[in-house]
Amino acid sequence: MNFTVLCFQVYDPLDNQLPYYNSVKYFLTLLRNLGSKMAGMLIKPANLFLAGYSYLKSTLSGNAFVSGMPVSIGIELTNHCNLQCPECLSGSGVMTRKRGFMEIDIFDKLITELQPFLFNINLYFQGESMLHPYFFSFLSRTLNTHTVVSTNGHYLSEENSELLVKSGLNKLIVSLDGMDQETYSAYRKNGKFDTVISGIRNISAAKKKHRSPLHLEIQFLINSCNEHQIPDIKQFAHEVKASLKLKSMQVLNKANIVHWLPRKSKFRRYENKNGEFEIKNNLPDRCMRLWFNPVVTWDGKVVPCCFDKDAEHIMGDLAQDSFREIWDGPKYRVFRKRILSGRHMIEICGNCTSGLKGVRY
């Protein structure tokens, strides 16, 4: 035994031969754990404050700067989908970006960096997340953060419903835009109404069985074909103990607006201004999402928000850079500045509901 080791053993005040050593060690470990837990608890609110402060300062001054990290993120597991909804870029087939499935390594890299700051993770963007062969592995990695999944409801078998309910997921959104096959598939092309209904019932039953706090939400996109069924969907949501969200419908192809527009103007996202249909939003030159809530595509590209469905505005690539480098990087800075100086000049921002009041019923 060398001399140093010998000295340390002889003079160590916390020599584990002393009777009080274990209690002191235990107490110190407790303090250390408590300290790191409290630090962890403080990081999120402190980050929220920083993000909010930089958003307000940028909006008021017109000069974009950012401090803090996002408080919420959308992550696309895949842009493949089993349906062919005509006003969806993925379903209608007009999406130009490559199709694929996210790799776990990219996801882990992102989550490891961002989870200390996040209050929320949306595990969806374009495509159907539950098509990912490792969907449940991704889900298990977000357990410490409030997590939301949105699905078209075709994969809610009894087995998957049990897994979802037991996974610790906080909120499940199921799209259901009609109360019979004909109305439903007017928009949800290839969709099977009965499958979705029994999927929702499976979730509801699994929730009851496990006394799960999972928030089940039915989302109903109001259009000209289904607006008469709002009372029916309300009744169904009540029956399966789900909340109901009525959403005005986004139309990507202006030529189709008249076809989809509901008769009741309160359900319309667009209004006729001088013979042209335009979004009701007055498009203020600001956007919180650029300071709070980015989106990452399946191949690790960071885009400004969920309206950039075809990833036209890529801010950076997680395969090359860390999230922070992208978030503070030149492309984001320029894009934030563009929004502050004239949001209407960016095409996706002119068909976006940020700043528009939701649908009331």
Binding-site ranges for ligand SF4 (CB under 6 A): 287, 289-290, 304-305, 307, 343, 346, 348-349, 352, 354
Which C-beta is closer to ligand SF4: that of 198 or that of 250?
250
Which C-beta is closer to ligand SF4: that of 123 or that of 290?
290
- Strand ranges of the sheet holding 72-75, from the earlier edge strand across to the other edge: 243-248, 215-222, 171-175, 146-151, 120-122, 72-75, 295-296, 301-303, 316-317
Q: How far is the CB of 109 from ligand SF4 (least distance, A)?
A: 24
C-alpha closest to that of 352 among 302, 308, 291, 295: 308
Decide: 110 and 318 in contact? Cβ < 8 Å.
Answer: yes
C-alpha closest to that of 93 among 106, 78, 80: 80
**E strand or H helix that includes residue 144:** none
Which C-beta is closer to ligand SF4: that of 130 or that of 283?
283
Q: How far is the CB of 257 from ligand SF4 (least distance, A)?
A: 18
Q: How far is the CB of 77 from ligand SF4 (least distance, A)?
A: 21
Q: How far is the CB of 311 from ligand SF4 (least distance, A)?
A: 12
Q: How far is the CB of 62 from ligand SF4 (least distance, A)?
A: 16
Q: How far is the CB of 352 from ligand SF4 (least distance, A)?
A: 3
Q: How far is the CB of 335 from ligand SF4 (least distance, A)?
A: 8
Q: How far is the CB of 121 from ligand SF4 (least distance, A)?
A: 18
Please state the φ and ψ torsions of residue 5, each to the nearest 5 degrees. Answer: -60, -40
Which C-beta is closer to ligand SF4: that of 123 or that of 287?
287
CA pair distance 213, 359, nearest whole angstrom? 26
Decide: 197 and 160 in contact? Cβ < 8 Å.
Answer: no
C-alpha closest to that of 279 among 354, 343, 350: 350
Helices and strands (DSSP H and E) totals, the chain: 13, 11
- Token pair, residue 311, equals 């990833």
Decide: 218 and 244 in contact? Cβ < 8 Å.
Answer: yes
Please state the φ and ψ torsions of residue 242, each to the nearest 5 degrees. Answer: -115, 155
Which C-beta is closer to ligand SF4: that of 184 or that of 332?
332
Q: How far is the CB of 279 from ligand SF4 (least distance, A)?
A: 10
321: Cα within 13 Å, side-chain hemisphere: 15
Which C-beta is closer to ligand SF4: that of 165 or that of 349?
349
Which C-beta is closer to ligand SF4: that of 244 or that of 348?
348
Q: How far is the CB of 114 from ligand SF4 (least distance, A)?
A: 19
Which C-beta is closer to ligand SF4: that of 179 or that of 305?
305
Which C-beta is closer to ligand SF4: that of 200 or that of 346?
346
Residues in contact with 8: Cβ distance below 8 Å, sequence separation at least 6, in sequence order = none
C-alpha closest to that of 280 among 289, 292, 267: 267
Which C-beta is closer to ligand SF4: that of 244 or that of 288?
288
Residues in contact with 217: Cβ distance below 8 Å, sequence separation at least 6, in sequence order = 171, 172, 173, 174, 242, 243, 244, 245
